[in-house]
């Protein structure tokens, strides 16, 4: 567990290079009342799960992800970031919040 804790230090900053602290704080506020719509089970990531995650990002821009018992939390965050380009706005407990603006018509307007 200690190695998992060490690798999660700075995870949010590392996986959201295009977001400022002010923007991450704004997104955390928006995500507060959201329910997780992507659930990562014991088996971890699959191609289908990544496709569902991308569809959720396209529809909502801000997506809360729940990772079962924290199994592979850091690996899950890194994989979603690398495969979709989504920015990690928050990691709290076993929950991750990702943001990716809609390519044509973004509904969330970040503060500058």
Whether residue 107 lies inside any domain: the answer is no
Burial 56-81 (b: 16+ CB within 10 A, else e): bbeebbbbbbebeeeebbbebbbbbb
Q: Domains in the chain: how many in total? A: 1
State pLDDT tens for residues 64-112: 999 998 778 999 999 999 999 999 999 999 999 999 999 999 999 999 8
Whether residue 111 lies inside any domain: the answer is no
What does pLDDT average to over the chain?
Answer: 90
Q: Which of 87, 89, 41 is nearest to 68 (CA)?
A: 41
Domain range for residue 92? 2-99
CATH of the domain at 51: 3.30.110.60
Percent share of the chain, pLDDT over 70: 92
With bands split at pLDDT 50, 70 and 90, how would you rate the model's confidence at 7? low
The residue that leads in pLDDT, 49 or 43, is 49
> Model's pTM, two decimal places?
0.90
């Amino acid at each position: 567990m200690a190695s998992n804790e060490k690798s999660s230090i700075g995870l949010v900053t590392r996986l959201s290079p295009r977001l400022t602290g002010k923007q991450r704080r704004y997104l955390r506020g928006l995500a507060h009342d959201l329910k997780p719509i992507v659930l990562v089970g014991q088996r971890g990531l699959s191609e289908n799960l990544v496709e569902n995650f991308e569809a959720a990002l396209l529809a909502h821009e801000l997506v809360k992800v729940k990772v079962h018992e924290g199994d592979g939390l850091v690996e899950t965050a890194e994989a979603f970031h690398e495969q979709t380009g989504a920015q990690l706005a928050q990691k709290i407990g076993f929950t991750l919040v990702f943001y990716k603006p809609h390519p044509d018509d973004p509904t969330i307007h970040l503060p500058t």
